[in-house]
Amino acid sequence: MVVRVATWNVNSVTARVERLVGWLDSAKPDVVCLQELKTTDEAFPAGQLADVGYQAATWGTGRWNGVAILSRLPIADVWRGWPDLPDFDGVAEPRALTATCGGVRVTCVYVPNGRELGHPHFDYKLRWLDSLTASVAEPARGELPYAVLGDFNIAPTDADVWDMSLFAESTHVTPAERAKLADLEAQGLVEVLPRALKYDKPYTYWDYRQLAFPKNNGMRIDLVFGNAAFAGAVRDAYVDREERKGKGASDHAPVVVDLDV
């Protein structure tokens, strides 16, 4: 059985619900992790998504974060965050949601941006990633296919940024952030996309400004880390660049992984 799993930072689910519904109809994913909902659980368009066959588990408070898992398969064992989830300014932000969909368990993450080096939010980002790593230790070594996927706000290598010289004093590319990805891998997770993608520079994010998308001035920051059972089942993967085109697009493209489970 093929299960199609996807992740997409939609940059406001209410602003992009028509595009989301259209993409679900064309791409036909079985499980979708969404980030940056920018809406509350109550205002989430669950009815429109149910009309096209998707259940939804959500965690949103109406600010500029929020995560959701959509599934055409039964959703079970839903967790919001995990024990000891760090907060920022006293708020536990809705940035992680875990669920089992059919025979696949996923953790949808929207990693803090970090803002700038030396900012308290950057320290929060590193603490948040440490907490994530601790939380995945058990499922990463389990027999059930398991993945952590979403907007990590980290480019894993210099090749994942269109021009590293522009990021010398910026977040997203620092050794400290990349070391946190290595910590995830040390728990038994591997990044599955480079093993499957068939073209160069598969960026997933392009700024709205300065014609970044037409110039392909992008970054690869939307990632999928799977345990052995998940990674071993990957048969294909792609970045859906077409969904980044046109009026009203998110600044991220969906990332899609097909599993043979």
H-run or E-run covering 136: helix 120-140
Residue 147's closest CA among 205, 187, 200? 187
110 belongs to the catalytic site: yes
What's the distance, CA 52 to chain centroid? 22
Residues 31/73, Cβ–Cβ less than 8 Å: yes
| Residues 6+ away with beta carbon under 8 Å from 174 | 117
| Amino acid symbol at 22 | G
**Residue 252 bears catalytic tag:** yes
- CA dist 19 and 50 (Å) reads 15
Q: Was 121 annotated as part of a binding site?
A: no
Residue 151 is labelled as binding a ligand: yes
Q: Answer yes or no: is 251 a known binding residue.
A: yes
Question: Which listed residue (30, 54, 146, 151) is catalytic?
Answer: 151
User: Which residue out of 54, 124, 172, 252 is catalytically annotated?
Assistant: 252
Residue 151: active-site member: yes
Distance of CA 130 to the CA centre of its chain: 17
Residues 6+ apart with CB under 8 A from 196: 234, 235, 236, 237, 257
The answer on whether 191 is annotated among ligand-binding residues is no
Any known ligand binding at 36?
Answer: yes
153 is in an annotated binding site: yes
Which among 30, 54, 110, 203 is annotated as catalytic? Answer: 110
User: CA 195, CA 160: separation in Å to the nearest integer?
Assistant: 15
Say how far residue 251 (Cα) sits from the centre of its chain. Answer: 13
Which residues, 6 or more positions from 18, have their beta carbon under 8 angstroms from its beta carbon? none
Q: Which residues are catalytic?
A: 110, 151, 252
Which residues are annotated as part of the binding site for Mg(2+)? 9, 36, 151, 153, 251-252
Which residues are annotated as part of the binding site? 9, 36, 151, 153, 251-252
